[in-house]
Amino acid sequence: MSASAVDVVAQLRSALGERVDTSPAHLDDARADKSGHAADGVPLAIVHAASIADVQETLRIAHATATPVVTRGAGTGLAGGANAGAGEIVLSVRGMDRILEVRPDDLLAVVEPGILNADLNRALAEHGLWWAPDPASREISTVGGNIATGAGGLLCAKYGVVRDAVLGVDLVLADGRLLRLGHRSVKGVTGLDLTSLVIGSEGTLGVVVGATLRLRRLVPGGTRTLTASFADVRAAAEGAAAVTASGVQPAIMELMDAACLAAVHALLDLPAPPAGATQLTVQTDGPAAEEEAAAIAVVLAEAGGDVRLAADDAEADLLWRVRRSMHPAMETLGTTLIEDVSVPRSALPAMFDEIARIEREFDLTIPTVCHAGDGNLHPNFVFTGDEVPDVVWRAADELFRAALRLGGTLTGEHGVGVLKRRWLADELGDDQWRLQRDITRVFDPTGILNPGKVFAP
């Protein structure tokens, strides 16, 4: 560790004491997330913040010493956006996990960023409330991380993504100043919408230390779950598009291709599905759940699906366990690069055609799961070893460009981080890329917040 690095750590220890962690094992853990990517080198220290004051003091020291800072929650990201490397301070807000306020009358809650998504919703259920963003990682991902990446999840086709569910954020800037952005009212258009700007900014604008969340009342009535098996993935995608076109709004509609389905069944020790079979799983909710499920079943049957309504809650729970076991199942196959593109829902069949083309051209199998209700696909590139092979990056390049040609985007919910920064200008165009990068410099003139992420050339 250089003399200047020793000085930075000494300043942190003087100000924050035992909250400063230099354990080699913990520092090594902070280099990586669930993407499989790890930063080069080892960070200087981890600050385990317990309060806004801890965050402010850390950033004041970092600002004064020009030391880069990477904000981190649970480390469940899939784009390398919270990975810390050589010469960087890790600012962990995982310990800031309190619910500060719940207002059932105003349908809002004020929380710290480190609370887990699922823990928040278990607590809100006691008030007859819930927070709608529902990432597959809800049991292990934090609300702050959900905000940083603009997360979505299984329910967002009907109930919206994080940007629809946040009224305001408390943000500490790079120099330690605290801003309180947004409002507690349902409406509010004073000035620019900086809250929405912060959502999805991946730690490049400031550190989220609190959030005022827009809540919903628990949906009345029950849920109904059905599955439709199709002979191939394109037919399943056409079935999903037909449901969207029908005007019936499912709460969840998820598509698993044959490779995904086979891997999950093997992981859960379930009977192997028919060769090539693709599964579409749909949930309806609310007072009209029964009627909507029946209407969707008709649409999917007409599209060629073999439709089955779950007989009871236990069968429905198993079907959703199958879907939520996708990532662990991929890990049994090797190292996985989990991608995240979105296209208009009508373009889903064409996007699956593109994935099939890329598989043929690069001699790869690309297991793909899809939030079919909103057109968000997660193709998985499976390989051996720690480094992503060149053939995978070439195939991923084709995948991204195909999504853009179809009117889609590079990322629907995982963020850009490190892994997609080289393609960002392809989607935004040079002028918008420069404008967005310049905005980050207004918030962080010295460039210490999450450097090398998102807008790095």
Residues 82-107 have pLDDT tens digits of 999 999 999 999 999 999 999 999 99
Exposed e or buried b per residue across 364-402, where buried means at least 16 C-beta atoms within 10 angstroms of its C-beta: bebbbbbbbbbbbbbbbbbbeeeebeeebeebbebbbeb
pLDDT range class, residue 36, cuts 50, 70, 90: confident
**Whole-number percent of the chain with pLDDT over 70:** 99
- Dump pLDDT digits (tens) for 322-348: 998 998 999 899 988 889 999 999 999
Q: Could you give the domains of the chain?
A: 3-92 (3.30.43.10), 99-217 (3.30.465.10), 223-405 (3.40.462.10)
Q: Give the CA distances from residue 352 to residues 330, 365, 369, 375, in Å, rounded to whole numbers and listed in that order.
A: 19, 13, 11, 11
What tens digit of pLDDT does each residue of 269-282 get? 999 999 889 999 99
- pLDDT for res 157: 86
Report pLDDT for 312.
94
- Amino acid identity of residue 191, one-letter, is G
Identify the H or E element spanning 282.
strand 278-285
Per-residue pLDDT of 395-420, as tens digits, reads: 999 999 999 999 999 999 999 998 89
Mean pLDDT for 305-321 is 95
In this prediction, residues 43-59 reach a mean pLDDT of 98
Please tell me whether the overall predicted TM-score, pTM, comes out greater than 0.85 for this model.
Answer: yes
Which pLDDT tens digit goes with each residue over 245-278?
999 999 999 999 999 999 999 999 999 999 889 9
Give me the chain's average pLDDT, please.
95
Top-confidence residue, 388 or 14: 14
Residue 3 has pLDDT above 60, yes or no: no
Alpha-carbon span 74 to 51, nearest angstrom = 17
| Among candidate residues 161, 267, 280, 275, the one with its CA nearest the CA of residue 214 | 161
Confidence band of 116 (pLDDT split at 50, 70, 90)? very high
What mean pLDDT do residues 432-456 have?
A: 95
Per-residue pLDDT at 350:
97
Q: Which structure tokens are listed for 118?
A: 């699922």
Query: Residue 456 above 80 pLDDT?
Result: no
Model confidence over 381-392: pLDDT tens digits?
999 887 889 999
- Structure confidence at residue 457 as a pLDDT band (50, 70, 90): low
The yes-or-no verdict on residue 1 having pLDDT over 70 is no
Cα dihedral 356, 423, 197, 148, rounded to 10, equals: 70
